[in-house]
C-alpha cells in the first residue's frame, strides 16, 4: 500500500492491483476507485495535491449535468 497525506489535508491510498481511495481532511472517504491509472507515490502525490481543484470541477460538472436541458 502507498499512502500520502498532502498539506491540503487530503490523504490518498493506492492498494491492491488497481484500487485507490482519497479521504478528506476529516477522514471521510470522498473518492473510491477500483480502477486506477497511477501506480507510484509521485503520481499519487500529484493527484492528492490537486484534489481540491479536481473535486470542485467534478461537483460543478455533476451540478450542470443534473440540470438537464
pTM exceeding 0.95: no
The three-class DSSP label of residue 68 is coil
For 22, the enclosing helix (H) or strand (E) is: strand 19-23
pLDDT at 69: 61
- By C-alpha distance, which of 42, 39, 37 is closest to 4? 42
**How far is 13 from 4, CA to CA, in rounded Å?**
7
pLDDT at 10: 97
**How far is 11 from 45, CA to CA, in rounded Å?**
9
Confidence category of residue 51, pLDDT binned at 50, 70, 90:
very high
The set of cell numbers assigned to 34 is 477500483
Confidence category of residue 47, pLDDT binned at 50, 70, 90:
very high
**How far is 42 from 55, CA to CA, in rounded Å?**
20
Confidence category of residue 67, pLDDT binned at 50, 70, 90:
confident
Amino acid at each position: 500500500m502507498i499512502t500520502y497525506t498532502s498539506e491540503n489535508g487530503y490523504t490518498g491510498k493506492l492498494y491492491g492491483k488497481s484500487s485507490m481511495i482519497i479521504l478528506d481532511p476529516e477522514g471521510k472517504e470522498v473518492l473510491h476507485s477500483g480502477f486506477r491509472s497511477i501506480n507510484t507515490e509521485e503520481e499519487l502525490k500529484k493527484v492528492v495535491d490537486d484534489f481540491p481543484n479536481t473535486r470542485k470541477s467534478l461537483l460543478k460538472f455533476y451540478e450542470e449535468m443534473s440540470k438537464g436541458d
